């Protein structure tokens, strides 16, 4: 999952990005509204955390332009000016959630989890597939009741596969979903990560299928199912 933070307070932006990266998100940061608008036109994200009082372009203008492009991206507004009028205006323009500064980091993290689940079309906190389960809050994968040892990158890949089960995902899409600006991760590296993940989840009966020229998807192991029948 990839998040864009538009916040001109560098200390707050750094703290938020560190916390969210620790939770397994890829995070990009801009410090003015014009840069936020440009980033949103050039890159796909799973969530926008948007300060309102931004230089060069107000946060509400960023939000208005985003919705004029019919982008369904979830938006969490952060602002020090917590007035009823601003909350109403932000929500009417298409914001999905609203938090006033100062705020509890744990509450913000919980709201981020809820919004990113909604962005992926997921309504539960635990994703399951055959004997495999993934706790979105704790970011722990299990086969049956046994924890599965995964690297941070493998964990993020598994979350993407489970939240998009049955959908084809290209190597370039994986790069966009997993990597922040400046990260040197090639499609070939993605192939290596997927190969490692495939071997680790095979005992659960989960199967990552490769479709040459298109990408990868997670779908049922029909061979095992028919054999069992």
Q: Per-residue pLDDT tens for 51-73?
A: 999 999 999 999 999 999 999 99
Q: Domain check: are 30 and 49 in the same one?
A: yes
Residue 123, pLDDT score: 61
- Distance, in Å, from the CA atom of 80 to the CA atom of 101, rounded to the nearest integer, reads 5
- Distance, in Å, from the CA atom of 119 to the CA atom of 25, rounded to the nearest integer, reads 14
The answer to whether 88 touches 66, Cβ cutoff 8 Å, is no
Question: Given pLDDT bands bounded at 50, 70 and 90, which one contains residue 163?
Answer: confident
What are the contacts of 171-174 at 24+ separation with CB within 8 A? Answer: 171/215, 173/215, 174/215, 174/216
Q: Domain check: are 63 and 160 in the same one?
A: no
**Selection from 48, 68, 50, 178 nearest residue 119 by Cα:** 48
Tell me phi and psi for residue 27, to 5 degrees: -130, 130
Residue 121, pLDDT score: 66
Q: Domain check: are 84 and 171 in the same one?
A: no
Question: Given pLDDT bands bounded at 50, 70 and 90, which one contains residue 155?
Answer: very high
Q: Domain check: are 106 and 130 in the same one?
A: no
pTM: 0.72
Considering the chain, what is the average pLDDT of its residues? 87
Q: Domain check: are 61 and 154 in the same one?
A: no
- Distance, in Å, from the CA atom of 94 to the CA atom of 91, rounded to the nearest integer, reads 5
Q: Which domain holds residue 53?
A: 2-119
Cα dihedral 113, 117, 119, 123 sign: negative
Q: What CATH number is given to the structural domain containing 115?
A: 3.40.50.2300
- Tell me: pLDDT of 225 over 50: no
Q: What is the pLDDT of residues 25-55, one digit of tens each?
A: 889 999 999 999 999 999 889 899 999 999 9
Q: Domain check: are 85 and 101 in the same one?
A: yes
Q: Domain check: are 145 and 113 in the same one?
A: no
Q: Domain check: are 17 and 114 in the same one?
A: yes
- Tell me: pLDDT of 221 over 60: no
Q: Domain check: are 103 and 141 in the same one?
A: no
Q: What is the pLDDT of residues 74-119, one digit of tens each?
A: 999 998 876 778 778 888 889 999 998 888 999 999 999 889 887 6
CA dihedral 30, 36, 40, 45 (to 10 degrees): 40
The answer to whether 208 touches 194, Cβ cutoff 8 Å, is yes
- Distance, in Å, from the CA atom of 75 to the CA atom of 54, rounded to the nearest integer, reads 15
Q: Domain check: are 24 and 98 in the same one?
A: yes
Task: Indicate the number of domains in the chain.
Answer: 2
Output 22 or 220, whichever has higher pLDDT: 22
Select from 119, 148, 165 the last residue of a domain. 119
Tell me phi and psi for residue 29, to 5 degrees: -130, 135
- Distance, in Å, from the CA atom of 66 to the CA atom of 43, rounded to the nearest integer, reads 12
Select from 119, 142, 173 the last residue of a domain. 119
User: Average pLDDT in the 202-208 region?
Assistant: 91
Q: Domain check: are 13 and 53 in the same one?
A: yes
Residue 166, pLDDT score: 83
């Amino acid at each position: 999952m990839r998040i864009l933070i538009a916040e001109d307070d560098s200390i707050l932006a750094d703290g938020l990005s560190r916390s969210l990266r620790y939770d397994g998100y890829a995070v990009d940061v801009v410090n003015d509204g014009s840069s936020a608008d440009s980033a949103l036109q050039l890159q796909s994200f799973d969530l926008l955390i948007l300060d309102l009082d931004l230089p060069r372009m107000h946060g509400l203008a960023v939000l208005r332009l985003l919705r004029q492009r019919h982008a369904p991206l979830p938006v969490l507004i952060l602002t020090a000016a917590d007035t009823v009028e601003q909350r109403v205006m932000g929500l009417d323009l298409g914001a999905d959630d609203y938090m006033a500064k100062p705020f509890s980091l744990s509450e913000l993290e919980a709201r981020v989890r809820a919004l990113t689940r909604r962005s992926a079309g997921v309504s539960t906190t635990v994703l399951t597939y055959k004997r495999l389960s993934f706790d979105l809050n704790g970011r722990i994968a299990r086969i049956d009741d046994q924890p599965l040892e995964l690297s941070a990158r493998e964990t993020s890949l598994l979350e993407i596969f489970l939240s998009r089960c049955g959908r084809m995902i290209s190597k370039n899409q994986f790069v966009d979903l997993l990597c922040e600006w400046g990260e040197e991760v090639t499609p070939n590296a993605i192939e290596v990560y997927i190969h490692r993940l495939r071997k680790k989840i095979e005992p659960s009966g989960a199967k990552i299928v490769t479709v040459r020229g298109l990408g990868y998807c997670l779908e049922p192991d029909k061979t095992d199912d028919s054999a069992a029948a």
